Structure formats: structure tokens, C-alpha cells
Structure 1
Amino acid sequence: MKSIRLLSLLPLVSLPLVARAQAPISLDEFMNATEIRDARIAPDGSAAVIATGVPDWQHNRFREDLWLWSKATGKLTSLTHSGHDSSPLWSPDGRYVAFLSDRPIVAAESDDAAGKDDEPSRVWILPLNGGEAFPLYTGKLDAHALAWSADGASVLFSATEPLSKDQEDANKAEWKDVIRWREQERGDLLLSIAVDAARERSQLAPEAHAKDDADKPALPPDARTIAHSTLEIDEIAPSPKGDVIAVESGPISHREENPADYEIYLVPAQGGELRQLTHNQGIEGSLKWNHAGSRLFFTVRAGGGSIEGPYQDVQGRIYSIDTASGKTTRLGSDFQGSWDDFTLTSHDAVLATGLTGMDQKIYRIDGDKFTPVFNDVGNNAHLEAARNSDAVLFTHSTINDPTQVFVASQPGELNSAKAVTAFNPVFHERAQVSWEPYRWKSPDGTSVEGVLIYPPGKKGAKHLPMLTLIHGGPEDADGDRFGADWYDWATYAAANGWLVFRPNYRGSTGYGDAFMLAIQPHLVSSPGRDILSGVDALVKDGIADPDRLTIGGYSYGGYMTNWLITQTTRFKAAVTGAGAVEHAANWGNDDLTYDDAWYLSGTPWEKPELYQSEAALFQMNKVTTPTHIVGGNADVRVSYFEQVVLERALQRLNVPHTLLLFPGENHPLDKNPWHGYIKVRDELQWLKKYGGQ
């Protein structure tokens, strides 16, 4: 597919603009989209650093690059070139950008050699006044989180507590390559290294340091240990006063088995014992201090439990906590949607993105109240205010407008902010889909909403072939936002003639806590009724052709697809990915296992009847729908054995099917872009073959 590599290098000049605007987007173009993964504004608002991901088809991976936008020039320029750089953070004085990278210490001879599997994700520092990026340390420490010290002199990071050389040798002698489940897991160290010392060391002899230290697990010689943690440290937030550091913990197993593993701790900046600040059933994150250093603000993400009582998956919430008294206050509680990103302005005003229905807008929060400050329809994210100026950065997109970074000089000018990036112009140069919200009543009278995406020029047409494409989560929602990848390929399906129906069934965010909680304990049957009633309504309204109905989804969307083909034979074809067909073994494997038990109101031995009645496997004898199955063979969330079980059942039942397994892929298909490309290519072919288009 040489055309894919050329797309990122050459302007599209071969066709006249008018003809190009009428042409549908190709799969090569669609899957070659640049993703904005992070965006950070400089402390004084004069610049922004932007992290992107883009397929590297030649090397079977995704490139990760950093870009710099300057307010003075108005230009966006490439900041790093290794293709392995992410998670940028400005130093407090704006002189440096720290980032994570698995690039080798010594320059690799080829791009293929860079970022090998044995390279850890180290902290690197890039001076913006000239000079090459240098590593903060050279040893094999894999950084879990990083932050600048309040004075900018040091970088803090967390890493698994290393073993001594003697301990490593003893382990290898006794256990060889045996994995001791849980027993070999270790907690983290919170470390600090002075930037000037690291820069001086790198300038002296980087090759020699790499040779001496690269294979040693021991701590860097100039690293200062601030704290030991029995848990992983997933987030670090030094107080502006420089006297204390807040950290967010997480499980060392990387499995969500106990919400108590996720708590906020404080430790003196000079080092000491961690003091637990929170004690709840929520998964905190996005730690931010007010300027006085007296209050710590944080979120509990949608589906991340609750700090008010027993664990339950509610919408995203924002809190602040007085670090002296431990008193916690919920912010914006009058909002009936789901809070997502938030930031504190230079005057400590709270700005946040909130999802209601189709749109995620920007609001100012004052106590329980909220006021919209950016009214454009679409999706806003990556919200960040400059620490020492009034400037605000955010990203914005719609279904037809690719995500771009915007910068406003102050919060009052968000509505007139201009884009500082121009990624993915090809999507504006091709025939665009049209869309509208669609609302219906579920059998119990509950109002449900979804998105209808029409093929170009087909809005208002009747009896269209329809793909019901179900979002994952379930704590998510489809709306007016851009998507172009292996997971979010609705607009590509529409460009290929399908009316795409994206239902926001019970359990989705943006429609109130009660709507989100109504999925429990009927994990698939309750939202399943919402989805099928929506399909019925579209057929009754004459929009969808009852003889050309298809269905698909990935992750929880795969769960639902597997379930729904046992409940009806109306779908002519199904495409399902990374979805379970039963819940007991999946509870044991899933890295979000506590979440699974909450949905079904207990463990498999406590609620065996629900684990069976809500599982597709025990009703597979009803399936007649030709089904295409995909999954990653390294998936720790939904084991690929779930897909193997589904395939075995369909084989036994003589139902047309196929199974694709992607080697080395976890739950998201983010290792090799060809896997996602083949997934979308073959799913569309399957729908065309069996869906009656």
C-alpha cells in the first residue's frame, strides 16, 4: 500500500478541487489520520506543545511525535523526530519540555532499531533555547508518571522499586523464566533528579553512561528517593509552594480489583512517609493545586466509582479537598451530564468540559453552579489554562471537522479562538457525511437518544441499508465528535453507503446518573432492549430497510453484538470485536474485574443466575447471523479466548463466520496500524457480502 506512506508526505494535487470534494474518502486516507494525543500550553501562554500519533506503515508501528506552536510566529514546527515521544510537560519557567520516550540512549542506526521492546520509557528533557534532548537518567527504569518540581530545578518521576544486582541474579538462578503471579510484584519509588546534573552528565559522555548503566536496574547515582509506595504511583502533583507533593496511587498488578488501591497521598517534598489523604471507592485523577497550595482539585472519571459511598459507576465528577482538614467538596453538582477535563485559570477559576447528549462543551464552575463559556456544538477536550497568564488551550472537533488545537488569550474569548493546528485536511477535501440526532422510546417508556450518520447526499432518504454500530464502555456516548480509526469508523462506513445508527443505550454517559446506573444488574439485556427498540423505530419510520440490517461493535460494543444476535435474527450480518460471550471467566481475566462484579451485582458464586442469564453463550443455539470476529491475542481486558469460544459455537452451529486474531495486541489495537487497517477493511467487506447492500 505505497499510497498510504505517500499521503503523509505529498500534497494531494492530482485532482481538481471540485472533483476532489465530491470523491469519497478512501480506506488508505481514512486510516492514515493523525491523532492529537496531548496538548499543553506554556506557563506564560506564549506557546504550546502538542503530542501526535500517526501510523508508520513501513515499520509496522505508530509514530509518536511532539510539535511546538509559537504565538509569536503563529507557526507549528516539529519539536522531536525520534517517533517515540509522548506525555510532554512544560517546566515552570517555560525553558524546558520534559517527556516520556522509549528511544535508545545512543542513537539507533535505523528507525527499526529505535524503541525496541527492551527499552524502558525514560524521562527526557528538551531545552527550548537550543540543544538536543537528553535523558534524565540512563538506567532501565520505566517511568510511570512524571512532574516538574515547583521551582523547576528537578523532575520527579515514579518507577518500580528496582532489585539489586545480587537480588536479580538470585531470582534468575532460582526461578529462571517462571512468572510468580502477584509474588514478584513490587511497589514504586518516587524519585527526583536535578535537571542541571542530568544535562551535565549527558554532555560529558552519553555513550559511556549508556554502556555502563543501560543494563543495570539500580537507581541513578544522583537520584533522590522521596518516598516508597507499596502501590504504583500513577500521578504526581507538587504543591506550588514546594513544600509537599501529592500523588495518586494505583494497583501494582494493573488490575482494578480493589477501588482502595486508588487514593491520594501527600508526602513532604524533602522526603518521608506517604500520608493517605482520601479513603473512598472512587478512582481519582487529574490532580491540580490551587495557586495558594491549600486545596487539591481532582476528578473521578465516568465509570470510575464514587467517593460518596459504595462503589457505583456514575458520571464524571469534579472535587476539591482541603489538604489540611481533609474536607472534600463536590463542584458543579447541579450539572446533569458528565464532567471530563478541567483546569484552573491563573485566577483559580474552574473551567471544565462537560458532556450532555451530543455535545461536550466548556463551562465555568462556581460552587454547585455552572455557566457555559464556549457554545460551539461539537466536542471539546484537552482543556488547560496557562499557569501564569490568562491564555486557555483546548481541542475541538465535530463529526466532519477533524480535531484541532485552539488557543484563546483569555477565557472570555473562547468562542473566537483560532485553530493553531491543521491536521488531516483530506477530510475536508472529500465528500462529507451528514448526521442528525435520533430519539425513541424503549419498551418501558424510557427516552433514548442516538446518532444517525447518513451517506453523503442521502440525508432524508428512505429504506437505507443500516449498520447499528455500538460504542464501548459502556460508560461512553456517541455524539458530535470526530473519529477516524479502527474503533471509530462510522463515517467511513457511511461513506461506503451505510446509514450508521449509533445508539446511546442505558449505561451511556451524558444523560444523568440514573440513566447510567440503569444498566445494573442486567448488563446486556437492559441496554439490548434500548438498542432493538431503536432499530424497530427506524424501520417503522421508513428510514432503515428491514431487509438490510447489520450490527457491530468492539469491547462492550462486542458484548452487545454477541448478545443481540442471540435475541433476534433480523440482522443479516454482524461484526464483533473483543467482546465476551460469558461473564464468569471474563470476570477472572478482566483487568477491570471490580467493575464487572458491580455490573452484575456480585461475584460469579454470589450471582450465578445473572452470570448465566446475561451471557450470550447459553443462548447461542438461536444464532443464525453470519458473524465476523476479531480480537488481540494479548488482550488483558477481554481474553481472546472469548472470541475463540464464540467461534467454536458458530462452527458447531454451522453459522457462517470468520475469526481474525491480531498478534501482540492488547485491548486497543495500538501496536501495529496494519491490524486496525485489516480489521476495518474486512469488516466492511463482510457487511457487504452478507448485509444485502
Structure 2
Amino acid sequence: MRRTLGTLSALVLLTTPAVAQEARTAAATPRPMTFDDVIALRAVNDAQISPDGKWVAYTVTRADLEQNASDADIWLVSTAGEPPNRLTTNKKSDTSPRWSPDGKRLAFISAREEKPQLFMMSPFGGEPERLTENKGGVRALAWSPDGKSIAFIADQEPTAEEEKRVKEKDDAIVVDTNYKFSRLWVIDPATKKARLIATGEMMASDPQWSPDGTRIAFTTNPTPRADDNALTDIWVVPTASGTPKKLVDNAGPDYAPRWSPDGTQIAYVTSPGFDVRQVQLAVIPATGGTPRMVAPQFLQQPSAPAWSPDGRTLYFGAAVRTTSQLFAVPAAGGTPRALTDVRGVIGGGTFSRDGREVAFTLSDGQKPADVQVATIGNGPLAPRQLTDHNPQVRDLALGKAEVVTWKSSDGMEMDGILLYPTGYVAGKRYPMVASIHGGPSGAWTQTFAASSGNPGQVLAGQGFAVFYPNPRGSSGYGESFLRANIKDWGGGDYRDIQTGIDALVARGIADSTRLAQTGWSYGGYMTAWTLTQTNRFKAVVVGAGLTDMYSMYATNDIPRTLDGYFGAEPWNDTTEYRKRSAMTFIKNARTPTLILHGQADQRVPIGQAQELYAGLKKNGVPVQLVFYPREPHG
């Protein structure tokens, strides 16, 4: 992590040698942010409110540089405003804290064993107790309504013969065969006896108990292949014994089943197909039948829903342009009502048993995420901050973040985020880095720009403006916008970004002679594409970028995604794949380029980086290629 961030900064600084000196001259207390500050940040996630609404359990993750790993621990904070307490201290990650229905116990998943296992503890004192010894490892958990059982998902355990073959290195991989599936189990935490509930060749996830505890709804994928991640279905199985029954027949994905309080209905998230489109919120009888869309005209994409105690309302989260908000909608159908209006990003949302309190995390452009709680009423929520896990940020000089808008070349309205350099002086032009998000259906949001993938505040501290455009194809702007780059990669989306840069130059903020661009994954694709379309940049950084769409198709692990955007396989539409590939136009490139790539990347295989490197080097363009051993796509 430290090397990646440092290399990115070094490349851009080398292309604009006056910038660092300008920043040092202007620097004053408080000091600019550094890469060490980024690594020292604590990430707060998974806020789980207790049934009585008096406590919130959550996770805090830090970087462990000695182990080259991240370490998550479980914390507890009172909603009354008392200081938080750390509940786990193991050097391996403890995650997924879940309250028992009586609020006296927490079950969680810990990596302190060879494989992640299910543990239980009192949140008010005592040592964790291990409940499972599953050789496959535990993935997810859910308490039964009476608190006497816990459903969990575990990977299929290896057989003795399979373990023997691995030990003897007789472990050749035959592609698309011999899958290891994940299974649904139920365990009695008192006796630690577990029984298998759902078998079969499927990947089970997200177990959800019916209110009377007699059934469990869960989501499945047909295989563990990444390309099958979208092939989700919902099943319901009796907890005593019986065969799982598929809840709904639909060509597209169905997931996130949530039981109504009376157990007669299940709300879930669905889409009619696998092409590029948004998901919707639906409700179906728990016994199966015809689903109905709850808010078919809603512009945004809902997250997993939650029912109000009286069963009349569904709550969910959704990305809205550069923010994320909480919403409520009548379960019978209607128009969603925004519960929040934050200039930031809300993470999650869990509710007390009486439905009066909701806990979540909230971050914005000036601070990382912390735990918040709010009381649900008739008006907008008024979040109350409960934690402060990164107080050191207040001692740093930070760039101000602002949503900017412009019109693209075809008149389409665009927006994005501009992070100003620290100590910004109006009327002065600054060097600017354009950072392109992945996806392509990702989106830049008003969150704290300080991570391994987004060191914006570090660059701002060095005197750079950082531009985060959301070109067509980004999420959070409606389905038409999401689908606007189908069969047009490198077309309208490229022009959206360049016209955004033009607008900031016209506003007198960006120096047109000191521009750089960077991006990862699809952002890497767009950056590689850009260096073959224009020479306006002093330098570019291509992170895990797609460079040859024809060779990319059959060598990456999610070709189904490319089917959705390109409309066909490359051998059935060679022209489309060739004209959207940076390598087709590599002879146009002149911009000094740094290529970063994980050597274990299966999403964008290393051949994509090698092709770009060879093309630039053979054509005399300054280029450096850096592989990170053992690193995957992320």
C-alpha cells in the first residue's frame, strides 16, 4: 500500500516539479496530510443497533503493516453518548457482530483460527467462545427469533482425499469443475451442535429467519465463479427438515430477502434481466406467487430493505448522485420519501426492535466514517454522532470538496467532485489530477478522500486540485444515465471527462499546462484510452486497466459484464471490441505513463498491462510498469 501511494505521488510530482515547493512555502499549521496519515486511519463499518436501541456494536479496521494485513475489531458504544469500548483485541479480524434477540449476546465471525469461525460473547464482559470448527470457514450468520439457534453459511469442507492431494501437490485445476459450494447450517449455541439445512450444488448466502422461526430464506448463486455473481435466486427452506423451494422465477437477479413482521410476505431486491440496468424493490407472498414492484418509478437503486414493526413501511438506502441517503416507502407501494439529506455517504442502516432508532455510519469530504444514530419521526432524521475514531484528522490541513457541474459535448448534464488544494487562493491556477472511478457503474461520492485507492487529500496537501468526474454510465443518476455508455466505451464517457476538465480550466482553477489523469480498473481503461486520444496530459497512471478488449474478454473472470456493455462476444462483433481498445490506437500515444497492476489479478489479467507496456515502449513513449506480487484486482 505504501509503495503504491508513493509511486503515484512521485510520478505526478516529477512532471510538475514546482508544485511541492509551492505547497511547502504556503504550508502552515495545521500540516498537510501524508501517506502515513492515510495508513493510520481507522475504518468504521457495520453499525448494528441493539434490540432495545441502547447500544451499537460495530467494527473498526486498521492497517497492520507488520502482517501486511488489515485487522478489524468489534467495538460497543452507548446511544446515550458515553465513550465507546473495544470488545475484541485479537490480532486477526473479528467482523459481522450480530445481536441476540434478547440483547445479551453478540455472535460474530473471527479469523483468529485457521479458517474463519463463529464466536459468541457477552458485550458487557467476558471472553469470546468459539461455536464452530468448520474446515471450510464461516461466511455469514443470523440469530433465530427465539435466540436458541444461529443460522450460518460455511464453505464446503475438503474431503480427506482432497486434503491428501493438496499436501502431495497433486492438485491440478480442471476449469469449471469440482466446485466447492457454500452451505446453510443451523447451530445450537448452548450445545454447539450444528446441522446442515440446505445442501445441493449452490452457493448459499444471506440467511434470514421467518418471524416464527420455522423457515429460513436465503440467496444462492449456481457456482462460485465470479461471472455467476449476478445469477442470484431466493429460496425458502423449513428449519426442521425439508427441501428448499425457489421463491420466484425470474430471468434476472433476486436477492436480499427480508420477512414481513407477520411472516406472510418477503421484500427483496430484483432486476428483470442481466444486462446493464438498475435493480428495484419488490414484495412477494412468502409462499411464492406474483411479485409486485413497490416503487417502479423510483430513480435510484435500493439496498437491502428493512420492515417497520407494523409492516406498513419499508426502509432502504440508495445512492443519490454524489451522496447516499436513507428512504422510506409504503410497503403497499408508493413514492419513496427521503429520510436524510446529508452531504456525505451513509453506510448501512439497522433498526431497533420498536423501529424508533436507526444506526448507521456517516462520512463526508472533511471526515472519515463514524457511527451515527437517529430517531425516526415524521420529519427528516437528525443524526447524532456517537464515535470519533480519527480525531487526528482535525489537526490536518484538508482540501475543501465541492460538487461541480458542467455540460458535456452533446449537452448532457454532468457532475462530479472537485477537491481544492489546501490553502486554495481564488484566481490562481493549480495543477490538477483527474481521477476516474471503476465500474464503469461506480461513482465518486462525497466521502473522505484518503485511502489506498484515493489519496486525494494527500495530493491536495501537495498543492494539487483533484477532479472526480461521474461520466455517463455511473450509478446514482438513474437507469438512462447508467445505460448511456452501452456500446460506447471511450465515446461519450471520454468526452464527459474531458469537457469537465475544460470547464475547470475555464473557471480559472486548473492549469491547462499541468494536468494528469489516473484511474483503476475501468478508470484504468479510460486512462489508457485517453493517452491514445489526446496529448493534453503531462503524465497518466493506468491502474489495472483494460487495454485490449478483444483479449480481455476471454481471459478475465467476468465476461458476462462485457456482454452487457458490448452486446456480443468479440468474435461476433470484432469491430466494436477493436474500436473501443486503447491498443488499436497505441501509435497515437505520447504521454509519459506509469502502469500499476496486481500480479494475481484475475479480473483484469496482467496481459492487459503487458500489452500496454510493450506498445508504449516500442513506440518510444516514456513508460514504467510495476507489478505487485500476490495482489489481486482490488
Give the drift of 1:285: 3.5
- 1:354 is aligned to 318
Would the aligned equivalents of 1:67 and 1:76 in 2 still touch at CA under 8 Å? yes
Residue identity in the other structure for 1:226? I
Structure 2 residue matching 1:31: 3-state secondary structure? helix
> What do residues 631-660 of structure 1 show as CA deviations (whole Å, max 9, x unaligned)?
211122111221122222222122112222
Q: SS state of the match for residue 369, structure 1?
A: coil
Q: 2:444 aligns with which of 462, 475, 478?
A: 478
**Which moved further from structure 2: 233-242 or 363-372?**
363-372
1:195 and 2:195 equivalent? no
Aligned residues of 1:373 and 1:411 also touching (Cα < 8 A): no
Does the 8 Å CA contact 2:557/2:602 hold for their aligned counterparts?
yes
CA distance in 2, matches of 1:169, 1:50: 36
Deviations 1:141-198 (A, max 9, x none): 2123222223221221222333543x44775699812122222213333211110012
Shift of residue 344, structure 1, vs aligned partner: 2.6
Alignment-derived partner of residue 394 in structure 1? 360
Where 2:503 maps in the other structure, the secondary structure is helix
Q: Does 1:242 align with 2:210?
A: no
* Residue 238 (structure 2) pairs with residue 268 (structure 1): yes
- The aligned counterpart of 2:501 is 535
SS in structure 1 of the partner of residue 59 of structure 2 = strand
The residue type equivalent to 1:88 in the other structure is P
**What root-mean-square deviation, in Å, do the aligned CA atoms of Structure 1 and Structure 2 show?**
2.4
Equivalent residue letter for 1:460: A
Q: Deviations over 1:6-60 (max 9, x none)?
A: xxxxxxxxxxxxx985321222112221112322111221211111211112222
Secondary structure of 1:558's counterpart equals helix
Cα 1:186–1:59 change in 2 (3 A) is closer
> Where does 1:281-320 land on structure 2 (aligned, <5 Å)?
281-300=251-270, 306-307=271-272, 310-320=273-283
Cα distance in 1 for partners of 2:252, 2:490 equals 24
1:434–1:457 CA contact under 8 A, matched in 2 = no
Once residues 20 and 66 of structure 1 are traced to their aligned partners in structure 2, the CA distance between those partners, rounded to angstroms, is 37
Q: Which residue of 1 aligns with 2:121?
A: 126
- Secondary structure at 2:40 match in 1: coil
Show the counterpart of 2:12: none
Equivalent residue number for residue 145 of structure 1: 140
Amino acid at match of 1:330: M
Q: CA deviation at 1:408?
A: 2.1
- Matched residue, 1:95: 104
**Helix, strand or coil: the match of 2:552?**
helix
Q: Does 1:614 align with 2:580?
A: yes
Which letter does structure 1 place at the counterpart of 2:157? Answer: P
C-alpha separation in 1, matches of 2:513 and 2:381: 45
Counterpart for residue 9 of structure 2: none
Measure the CA separation in 1 of the matches of 2:32 and 2:582: 37
Cα distance in 2 for partners of 1:157, 1:586 equals 37
Instruction: Name the residue aligned to 2:201.
Output: 230
Which string of whole-angstrom CA distances, capped at 9 and with x for unpartnered residues, describes residues 66-115 of structure 1?
101123672210011113111221122222211112212xxxxxxxxxxx
Secondary structure in structure 2 of the residue aligned to 1:50:
strand
Which whole-Å CA distance do the structure 1 matches of 2:583 and 2:253 have between them?
32
Matches of residues 667-686 of structure 1 in structure 2 within 5 Å? 667-668=633-634
Which of 59, 64, 74 is matched with 2:67 structurally? 59
Partner of 1:256: 227
CA distance in structure 2 between the partners assigned to 1:74 and 1:508 by the alignment = 40
1:592–1:515 Cα change, 3 Å: same
Relative distance call for 1:655 and 1:251 in structure 2 (3 A) is: farther
Partners of 1:503 and 1:652 lie apart in 2 by 32
Q: Which residue of 2 aligns with 1:71?
A: 79
Which residue of structure 1 lines up, in the alignment, with residue 154 of structure 2? 159
Residues 169 and 427 of structure 1, relative CA distance in 2, 3 Å threshold: closer
Q: CA deviation at 1:565?
A: 0.8
Q: Residues 341, 481 of structure 1: CA spacing in aligned structure 2 closer, same or farther, 3 A cutoff?
A: farther
- Which of these residues, 300, 304, 308, is aligned with residue 337 of structure 1? 300
Distance 2:183 2:35 in 1: 45
Letter in 1 for 2:123: L
Map of 1:676 onto structure 2: none
Moved more, 407-416 or 383-392: 407-416
Q: State how 1:375-454 maps to structure 2 within 5 Å.
A: 375-412=341-378, 415-454=381-420
Name the CA shift for 1:135/1:569 in 2 (closer, same or farther; >3 Å). same
Measured in 2, the distance between the counterparts of 1:121 and 1:618 equals 46
CA contact (8 A) 2:134 2:157 kept: no
Q: How many residues align?
A: 606
- Quick check: 2:419–2:460 contact (8 Å CA) kept in 1? yes
1:265-295: per-residue Cα shift (whole Å, max 9, x none)? 1111112212111233433333322211122
CA contact (8 A) 1:229 1:274 kept: no
Q: Are the structure 2 counterparts of residues 417 and 526 from structure 1 closer, same or farther at C-alpha, using a change threshold of 3 Å?
A: closer
Find 1:176's aligned residue among 139, 153, 170.
170
Instruction: Call closer, same or farther: CA 1:406–1:316 in 2, change over 3 Å.
Output: farther
Specify whether residues 47 and 560 from structure 1 end up closer, same or farther in structure 2 by C-alpha distance, changes over 3 A only.
Answer: same
Output the CA distance in 1 between the equivalents of 2:227 and 2:444: 25
C-alpha distance in structure 2 between counterparts of 1:350 and 1:577, whole Å: 40
* CA distance in 1: counterparts of 2:199 and 2:423, whole angstroms: 61
Give the 3 Å change call, closer, same or farther, for CA 594–387 of structure 1 in structure 2: farther
Structure 1, unpaired ranges of 5+: 3-18, 105-118, 199-221, 301-305, 669-693
1:45 matches 2:53? yes
Shift of 1:405: 0.9
In 1: Cα distance, 2:149 partner to 2:255 partner: 23
The 3 A distance-change label for structure 1 pair 270 and 121 is same
Q: Is the 8 A contact 2:47 2:58 kept in 1?
A: yes
Q: How far does the alpha carbon of each residue in 1:330-376 deviate from its partner, in whole angstroms, 9 at most, with x for none?
A: 23333323333543333332222232223222222222302222223
Contact map agreement 2:532 2:585 (CA 8 A) in 1? yes
Report the CA distance between 1:435 and its aligned residue.
2.7
Deviation at 1:223, TM superposition (A): 2.1
TM-aligned CA distance change 1:544 to 1:316, over 3 Å: farther
Measure the CA separation in 2 of the matches of 1:536 and 1:389.
48
TM-score of the aligned structures, taking structure 1 as reference length: 0.83
Give the secondary-structure state (helix, strand or coil) at the position aligned to 1:493.
helix
Letter in 2 for 1:343: A
1:326 aligns with one of 274, 277, 289: 289
Partner deviation per Cα, 1:366-393 (whole Å, 9 max, x = no partner): 2230222222322222111123452111
- Cα distance 1:538–1:665, how it changes in 2: closer, same or farther (>3 A)? same
Match of 2:327 in 1: 363
Q: Structure 1 pair 183/567, CA: closer, same or farther in 2 (3 Å)?
A: same
Letter of the 1:225 partner, please give it. Answer: L
Could you tell which deviates more after superposition, 540-549 or 66-75? 66-75
Letter matched to residue 657 of structure 1: V
State the one-letter code of the partner of 1:548. R
Distance 1:456 1:133 in 2: 45
Classify 1:316/1:23 alpha carbon distance in 2 versus 1 (closer, same or farther; 3 Å).
farther
Q: Decide whether the 8 Å contact of 1:145 with 1:235 is kept in 2.
A: yes
Corresponding residue for residue 16 of structure 2: none
Maintained 8 Å contact 1:433/1:453: yes
Amino acid at match of 1:321: I
**Alpha-carbon distance change, 188 to 401 in structure 1, aligned in 2, over 3 angstroms:** closer
- C-alpha change, 1:30 and 1:164, in structure 2 (3 Å) is closer
Do the aligned residues in 2 keep the contact of 1:356 with 1:511 (CA within 8 Å)? yes
Superposed CA offset, 1:201-237 (max 9, x none): xxxxxxxxxxxxxxxxxxxxx3212111311112211
- AA at the equivalent of 1:299: V
